[in-house]
A and B are shown apart, each in its own frame.
Chain A
């Protein structure tokens, strides 16, 4: 809900880097997540970061966490048309995960 906020849309050209940003208000989470949802499909966990880390890299994905500013970002290098999807930022809220509304990434060929 409102606890986790992200912009609704992002448009990039194929081959460029995409940066999807997320802010949150509650800093008590141990984990922060990025999920991907392709059209007509469920959510797929892309990556996660422990709250005591600043950065995590996994192939084309780079997650940056700024705890002071409560800001999380996902960078996708060399964005491909197959990356077009909705990307959800989320944080663990005890027994439940609290999601943002999702950022729809459009990749132009």
Chain B
């Protein structure tokens, strides 16, 4: 595709449920990033993948958050036992090899009731 795509675009869930958010990076981009943007806040870095490995997971807010990337392409961010404070826009970005410029997807808007 032409850009980074994310699905679903919107997700409403009940507190305590698990959710999976998907990111399809731009073809050929080796680096993939997840960020969280809470209402009125800047972007909070969550995790970064280079290929399939994640050198740094320290940005994940709690052990309820996990992410994986398979085949060096699609990534899934999973939030278990969602809480109301997890409500935010989750943004994914990717970068081509040798570049630090990040290209962002449109985000997934998560609302936990």
Contact = CB atoms under 8 A, between A and B. Distances in A.
Decide whether A and B are members of one complex: yes
B91 A97 contact: no
A44 interface: yes
Contact of B48 (A4, A31, A92, A96): A96
Most buried by A among B43, B101, B106: B43
A88 to B, nearest CB: 7
A42 B106 contact: yes
A45 B42 contact: no
A96 B56 CA distance: 10
B101 A45 contact: yes
Interface stretch (A11-19, A59-67, A69-77, A98-106): A98-106
B104 A95 contact: no
A100 B42 contact: yes
A101 B91 contact: no
A102 B42 contact: yes
B100 A92 contact: yes
Nearest to B3: A42
A42 B42 contact: no
A109 interface: no
A43 interface: yes
A68 to B, nearest CB: 24
A100 B45 CA distance: 12
Most buried by B among A4, A35, A43: A43
Nearest to B55: A95
Given A41-B106, A42-B106, A95-B48, A1 B42 contact: yes
29 contacts: A4-B42, A30-B100, A35-B104, A40-B106, A41-B106, A41-B107, A42-B105, A42-B107, A43-B43, A44-B104, A45-B101, A45-B103, A45-B104, A48-B101, A88-B42, A92-B100, A95-B48, A95-B55, A96-B45, A96-B48, A96-B59, A97-B45, A97-B102, A99-B42, A99-B43, A100-B42, A101-B40, A101-B41, A102-B42
